[in-house]
């Protein structure tokens, strides 16, 4: 990670971590006063980057049970839905920090050893629609199991609505309401797929070389922003912008940012094209400016372990610890966005 002299690694919030390790902190308390002074909203941070303050632990998960948090979908009222990799679960974290398992996917025949690259079945991306239905990705290394699953409100068991090829590794999913479609990254295939929101067969939306892996995972995180689809590439450490044509087809591709080794998920802060990016391999959350430059905002000293996902709502960033490659404290954290 390159850090310019004019953009030092400044952590506003690390001092609060020692008192924030108990699970169950209410989401509504995220913006409470912190022992560490924080700049008011709108105060420029050094280098023009936003800062993160008042880090809180919202919920801690069971590492021994494989609850390695991978993805976050926020819900009304301050809750969140989280995908758990090794546990093959979808978990709800309520506003008071309590957790509830919504679904646990069965181990596929043969144990999931045919799942591409990772050799184990896992739940990855999650999304939620305005009607309360939860959608999640399951990679099982088998046809008839791998794909997009829907858990409708009031329904006990999820159903597979978009079957995907057995050799794909669906990782992130988003709902493109205007296009009436899902978009899904395929990390081992280096592709973005699309499929109808009503369910059905998927098709490849983009297989641009910028999405390809170079040994492990390629296309990973996925966002729709300002008329384009944005994708992170884990192996290449890049964020790629793909223009969306009027027809909905993939257009011109450009690399927006580089030098983000091990990037997993990311999100826009709502301040133009500023991005927060989760770097899994280095346990970091970085800010990426509109010109593609970046700076570390939080790291292991702030309690990050295998940072997998970040979602921003207004001035709060929700961050998941996967703790899969190192560490033993998978968790959902939150921090307040200041400055910028």
Is-contact 292 257, C-beta < 8 A?
Answer: yes
Distance (Å, whole) CA 11 – CA 3: 14
**In sequence order, what are the residues at sequence separation of 6 or more whose Cβ sits closer than 8 angstroms to the Cβ of residue 179?**
194, 244, 248
Tokens of 38: 């924080």
**pLDDT tens track, the chain, 340 positions:** 322 233 333 333 322 222 232 223 334 434 332 332 333 333 334 456 899 999 999 999 999 999 999 999 999 988 999 999 999 999 999 988 999 999 999 999 888 998 989 999 999 999 999 999 999 999 999 999 999 999 999 998 999 999 999 999 999 999 999 999 999 999 999 999 999 999 999 999 999 999 999 999 999 999 999 999 999 999 999 999 999 999 999 999 999 999 999 999 999 999 999 999 999 999 999 999 999 999 999 999 999 999 999 999 999 999 999 998 888 999 999 999 997 6
- What is the model's pLDDT at position 7? 31
CA 37 to chain centre: 28
Is-contact 8 46, C-beta < 8 A?
Answer: yes
Residue in 327, 299, 330, 264 with CA at minimum distance from that of residue 13: 299
| Residue 154, Cβ density class (10 Å: 0-12 exposed, 13-18 middle, ≥19 buried) | exposed
Q: What is the largest CA-CA distance in the chain?
A: 56
**What totals of helices (H) and strands (E) does the chain contain, helices first?**
0, 24
Distance (Å, whole) CA 74 – CA 109: 32
Strand-by-strand arrangement of the 250-257 sheet: 219-225, 228-233, 238-244, 250-257
Containing H/E element for 321? strand 316-321
**In sequence order, what are the residues at sequence separation of 6 or more whose Cβ sits closer than 8 angstroms to the Cβ of residue 246?**
none
- What is the model's pLDDT at position 47? 53
Domains, in order of start, for the chain: 14-339 (2.120.10.30)
Render 49-112 in DSSP notation, one character per residue.
Answer: -EEEEEEEEEEE--GGGT--EEEEEE-GGG-EEEEETTTTEEEEE-TTS-EEEEEEPPPPGGGG
Tokens of 7: 């953009």
């Amino acid at each position: 990670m390159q850090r310019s002299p004019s953009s030092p690694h400044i952590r506003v919030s690390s001092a609060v971590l020692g008192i924030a390790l108990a699970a169950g902190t209410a989401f509504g308390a995220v913006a409470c006063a912190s022992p560490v002074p924080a700049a008011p909203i709108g105060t420029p941070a050094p280098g023009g980057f936003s800062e993160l303050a008042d880090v809180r632990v919202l919920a801690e998960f069971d590492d021994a049970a494989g609850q390695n948090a991978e993805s976050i979908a926020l819900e009304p009222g301050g809750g969140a839905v989280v995908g758990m990799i090794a546990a093959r679960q979808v978990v709800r974290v309520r506003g008071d920090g309590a957790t509830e398992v919504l679904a646990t996917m069965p181990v596929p025949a043969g144990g999931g050893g045919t799942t591409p690259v990772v050799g184990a079945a896992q739940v990855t991306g999650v999304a939620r629609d305005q009607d309360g239905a939860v959608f999640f990705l399951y990679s099982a290394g088998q046809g008839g199991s791998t794909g997009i699953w829907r858990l409708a409100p009031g329904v006990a068991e999820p159903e597979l609505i978009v079957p995907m090829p057995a050799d794909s590794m669906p990782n992130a999913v988003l709902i493109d309401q205007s296009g009436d479609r899902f978009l899904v990254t395929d990390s081992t295939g280096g592709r973005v797929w699309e499929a109808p929101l009503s369910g059905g067969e998927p098709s490849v939306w983009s297989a641009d070389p910028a999405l390809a892996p170079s040994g492990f995972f390629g296309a990973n995180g996925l966002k729709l922003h300002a008329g384009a689809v944005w994708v992170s590439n884990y192996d290449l450490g890049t964020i790629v912008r793909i223009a969306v044509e009027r027809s909905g087809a993939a257009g011109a591709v450009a690399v927006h940012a580089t030098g983000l080794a091990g990037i997993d998920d990311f999100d826009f802060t709502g301040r133009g094209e500023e991005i927060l990016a989760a770097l899994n391999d280095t346990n970091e959350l970085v800010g990426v400016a509109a010109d593609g430059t970046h700076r570390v905002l939080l790291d292991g000293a702030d309690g990050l372990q295998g940072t997998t996902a970040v979602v921003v709502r207004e001035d709060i960033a929700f961050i998941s610890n996967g703790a899969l490659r190192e560490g033993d404290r998978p968790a959902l954290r939150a921090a307040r966005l200041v400055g910028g």
